Structure formats: structure tokens, C-alpha cells
Structure 1
Amino acid sequence: MKKKYTAKEVRNLILDTASVLFIEKGYEQTSISDIVAGLDGLTRGAVYHHFESKYHIIVGIAKRFIPEQELLDSIDKRNDLSGLGKIQTILLESMFNEDITKSTVISLSLLKDPIFTSIYNAQMCEVFVPILERYINAGNADGSITVPQSAQMAEVVILLTSTWFIQTLFPNTAESFFEKLKTAQYVLKVSGIDVLSDEVCSTIVQKITGNNKQQEGASDEKNL
């Protein structure tokens, strides 16, 4: 082992290494031995100390796309936000939080893998449905939301803001992405839960187009 790692660093190294292998070889074709071989001298025991199995590793990768509990708790405690406002804040944090972006950049291509996307969807629903249901009930109480069946509507929000945009399930172009964003905005608004308000959509468009311009600029600099 070339250096000493903290427990968090070991966990991240395992997830990063596994992500690359799952992308290159596929989940089914990647073994624990393959992952161990890429871990800078860390042992099989170190892997099993953090993850019970290969399945738990890919679940760990999927969970990186979800805000950590500390961030979710901080949003929950905000008295300045309505029920709808809390849902919108969670959506934007899930999409653009810097820590999430850094930890998932290696794994983004896995969203094209059907095994990973099924696990990703399951984790999204497991974590977010209870949270969104609670905020929908709060929104119904504070007037920011007017919908029945809060549990089912929580699932609809996830479908229209996350699942529908997964490339494996519904292939997107840059143009169709923004068209789908407008469609999701319309459906949610007429349903009484305006998660994708004009302000939120404007933020999403600005951040995505801004990131694309930064990437193009970086690419141009490399070519100079």
C-alpha cells in the first residue's frame, strides 16, 4: 500500500475503482478480485469491511447521487421554505450540489447501464418518497401545494424530475432534454405541485448551459 487512507478515502477509492470497472467491463463481468486489483495495495478484507458484497458496492455508487443526510436535515430545518420550496431545494441540490457532482463524475456513464439504473431508481424512491410525501403534506397545509394522494404524487415527482431523464430508459438529445423539462413543468404545474416553476427551470437551464460552455472552453484550451 503506497499511502495510509482514512476510512472515507478507502470507501471512495473502492467506489471510484468499481465505477470505472463497471463501465469498462460491465457489472456482471466485474469481480471483487478485479476491484481489489485496482486498489493501490488495499486488501480484499478492506473491501468487505466497507461493503458486504459487489451488490452493496453498486448500491453505494447509486447513493452518491443522493444528497447526504446532513444536507437533507439542513433543508428540513429551514423555516423560511414552504413545503414546495423544500422539494425544489432538494431537486436543485441533487442536480448541482458540488460534493455530489465531484463524487459522481466518474460514475455518470453508469446511468446508461440498465442494472445500475434500476438500482439507482430503487434508491431514489427509497430515500425520497417518504421525504417528498412529508413535504407535499406540509405544502398542502401551507398552501404552496394543492394535490391529493401525497404518497403517489411523491412518486410522480420522482418520475418526472429524475427517472424520465435517464438516458437508458428514454434517450435524450440536448434539444429533447429541454423540451422534456418544459413538459414536466407543465404536468406538475397543472397537477397542483409546481416543482419546476419558471424560476427553478431558469436555474436548471442556466447551470446546464453554463457548465456546457465551461467544458467547451476547457476543451478549446487543451487544443491550443
Structure 2
Amino acid sequence: MARNAHPELTQERIIKAATELFTSRGYDKTSMQDIIDATAGLSKGAVYHHFRSKEDLFDAVANRLMKTMSEATDKTQTQTEQDTALEQLQSLFSPERARKRLEAADLMFSKFNPKANPKMIGMEFIALVDERDDFVDLFNQGNQDGSLHVDHVEQTAEIFRLLTNMWLLPFFRRGTQTELRTRAACFFSIMRGLGIPLQDQGFSDLLASFGTNAKGNNKEKTESEGSR
């Protein structure tokens, strides 16, 4: 049998097929045979060569999706030492930086059905709560440079991660343009109440562009999107 010269491409093909099925149907209602059929040409042996079980394949898909979600609030190297913590946080919600992350996440989650994926949501929740990330350090920095006034740093970091990675974004919970714009306004109000005076500098309009229309289907672009 000829050796596969590009195993990473085969693996990506399997993950892509599994992602579409897991996110739309859910873990329990997707079988390995369903995934094999969705690869359009790969044999059962080829799929099992890369993933020994449905559980292994689900872990690969979940890790890919979680990485995509976490990148929605990932810090990049564009900040300088002169930037305050608030300025670094504010840049995360600038339309210029947020757009690419939202578009990438939307491609991954376009068929995501939250009610069919409690396992995936549970894994994401546990990961977000358990991991201590750079936001703890950033909030401490902000308290020192005077740009933030956070009383409970670790707990606020947990809230920040949960809201920005799960509640705020329109993938675990869809919404109309108006609902998403209101959700963004609520998020900024919560942050200000926690001592993080973020300002909405166009993020709510960007988020709303990923919303559904009044009937819950088809994305509508905001007026600002259409005028460009």
C-alpha cells in the first residue's frame, strides 16, 4: 500500500467533516460511520488510522473550536510597553482587530447547535474557569498604572473570559442585530462596574453584523457595513 505523502491533509479533511457533523447534530447523534461517509472517499481504515475512536476525534474538534474561541480575546504583540492595561484591553475590542477573529470563528461555528452540544459547551466552560491566563496579570498591571480599578482580580478575570468567549459572541447563543447590540452594551456596562472602563468604539455595530434578522435567518449587515 502506498504511504500517504500528506497525512496532515488527510487529518484536516477528517476534522473538517467531523466538525460539521458534531456542531450541527451533536456528539451523541453522530457516528464514526457518519464521519467516514462525510469525508467523501476516505476508507474506514484511513479514518481510524488518524483517530482511534469517536472520542479522540471529538477531542480534536473541540480543541480546534476552543482555540478559535480563545483567540477572540487573545493578546497580540501589537502593544508596546508604554500602553496602559486599559489601552491594551480596549484594542481587543476595536473593530479592526475584532473583525478577523469574529469572521474566523463564524466560519468554524456557522452550523453550531448549542442545544445538541452540551458536552462541548461543558468542556469550554471548565477550561475557561480553570485556566489562569494573562488577564490576571493585565488587571494587576492596570491597578498599578491607574487605568483600571479592579477589586477582585482573579474572579474578574474569570468573568471576563466567560463573557467574552461564550456569552458575548453570537455562536453559543445567536441573536438578532438588536439583541447583539444590546448584549454588547450590557457587556461594556458590566466591565465598567467591575473597574474596567472600556468604551464601545464600534464593536457593538460589528457584533450586530453577525446577527440574524427578525425571523432568525440570514445574516444582515449593519448600515455602517453597507455604506463602505
The AA in structure 1 aligned to 2:19 is: S
Tell me, in whole angstroms, the C-alpha distance in 2 between the residues paired with 1:26 and 1:48: 19
Tell me, in whole angstroms, the C-alpha distance in 2 between the residues paired with 1:169 and 1:21: 16
Give the alignment's TM-score, normalised by structure 1.
0.70
Residue 170 of structure 1: how far off its partner (Å): 5.9
Partner of 1:141: 144
Q: Does 1:154 align with 2:161?
A: no
CA shift in 2, pair 1:82/1:158, >3 Å: same
Q: Does 1:101 align with 2:95?
A: no
Give the 5 Å matches for 1:14-33.
14-33=14-33
Tell me, in whole angstroms, the C-alpha distance in 1 between the residues paired with 2:67 and 2:31: 20
The AA in structure 1 aligned to 2:21 is: L
Residue deviations 1:14-34 (CA, integer Å, cap 9, x gap): 332112111443211223343
Q: 2:81 aligns with which of 79, 82, 103?
A: 79
8 Å CA contact 1:72, 1:90 repeated in 2: yes
Partner of 1:205: 205
The AA in structure 2 aligned to 1:178 is: R
The AA in structure 2 aligned to 1:213 is: K
SS of corresponding position for 2:51:
helix
The AA in structure 1 aligned to 2:27 is: Y
Greater alpha carbon shift after TM alignment, 40-49 vs 173-182? 40-49
CA shift in 2, pair 1:13/1:143, >3 Å: farther
The AA in structure 2 aligned to 1:156 is: I
Tell me, in whole angstroms, the C-alpha distance in 2 between the residues paired with 1:86 and 1:138: 11
Structure with greater helix percent: 1
Q: 2:126 aligns with which of 98, 122, 127?
A: 122
Partner of 1:221: none
Tell me, in whole angstroms, the C-alpha distance in 1 between the residues paired with 2:91 and 2:51: 34
Q: Does 1:192 align with 2:195?
A: yes
* Alpha-carbon RMSD: 3.9
8 Å CA contact 1:111, 1:117 repeated in 2: no
Residue deviations 1:89-131 (CA, integer Å, cap 9, x gap): 4456884335x7346514333252333322333344455x422
Residue 11 of structure 1: how far off its partner (Å): 4.3
Partner of 2:51: 47
Residue 204 of structure 1: how far off its partner (Å): 4.0
- Seq. identity, %: 17
CA shift in 2, pair 1:104/1:180, >3 Å: closer
| Structure 2 residues not aligned, in runs of 5+ | 211-218
8 Å CA contact 2:68, 2:105 repeated in 1: yes
| Structure 1 residues not aligned, in runs of 5+ | 218-224
CA shift in 2, pair 1:192/1:24, >3 Å: closer
Residue 155 of structure 1: how far off its partner (Å): 1.4
Give the alignment's TM-score, normalised by structure 2.
0.69
Residue 48 of structure 1: how far off its partner (Å): 4.5
SS of corresponding position for 1:14:
helix
Tell me, in whole angstroms, the C-alpha distance in 2 between the residues paired with 1:151 and 1:38: 43
